[in-house]
Amino acid sequence: MRVMTHLRDVKMIKDRTQSEIEPMKQVIGLLKKHNVKMDEDFLVKLENSKTSLVDVSEKALGPVKEAILPLQNKEATNIKDRLRKFEIKVAEFRQDFTTNCPYNVSSSDPNVIEESYRIIGDYYIKTLVMEQEAKDLNNLETLFDMQKSTYKYLKDCSQELVSLKQMWDLIALIDYQFESWKSTLWEKIDTDNLTRLVGEMRTG
């Protein structure tokens, strides 16, 4: 695994560096065109660096990669099995998520609101754990040149947690404001007194 990590890094550095060399050569040509003083050997050094980079990458990605290929193929089979099991785990988590998360609002008393927040918090932590496992498996897929899995169900859970939190924030705001309204003194005035007070205001 350490060797494969090294080979992956060599490949990434090689691809990134080679993509940068040509723009650098174009910049050097433009600077020379405008008579900007610079090291005359820089272009030669740049080309030599490119050649050296190719040599190093060929040595690393050639004989070394071939030497570990049997072990790589064997481990790739194990990783594919892990990926299949994780796909099942994600599907089961999604089913559990949609079944138990507080999507429907039957009442909005403080106990219901508190319990809904608790459930949302629990599934937020569970989703983070699942996302970290997905990230670790994605790293293995990159290492073994496999197609990277997207795990749409996990993305759906993450997005819906945000929506659920916003929904219950709004419910809590309305519920607490209504409770505050019910506790005000003017809400407790009876109809006769209210009519009398309005009449007094009009006459005087």
Amino acid, res. 173: L
Q: Is the pLDDT of residue 135 over 70?
A: yes
Long-range contacts: 39-47, Cβ < 8 Å, 24+?
Answer: 46/21
Cβ–Cβ < 8 Å for 26, 91: no
Whether residue 197 has pLDDT greater than 70: no
Of the candidates 122, 123, 131, 4, the one whose C-alpha atom is nearest the C-alpha of residue 65 is: 4
Helix axes 65-100, 2-33, angle to 10 degrees: 100
Convert the pLDDT of each residue in 15-30 to its tens digit.
777 788 788 878 877 8
> What pTM was computed for the model?
0.66
**pLDDT computed for residue 73 by the predictor:** 86
Mean pLDDT of the 94-117 span: 91
pLDDT at 203 over 80: no
- How much is the pLDDT for 181? 60
For 9, counting Cβ atoms within 10 Å of its Cβ (0-12 exposed, 13-18 middle, 19+ buried), the class is: exposed
- Who's near 160: CB < 8 A, 6+ residues apart? 97, 101
**Dihedral over Cα of 24, 25, 28, 34: its sign:** negative
Handedness of CA 152, 155, 156, 157 (dihedral sign): positive
Q: Domain coordinates of the chain in residue numbers?
A: 2-203
Phi, psi of 160 (to 5 degrees): -70, -30
Mean of all residue pLDDT scores within the chain: 83
Q: Is 26 helix (H, G, I), strand (E, B) or coil?
A: helix
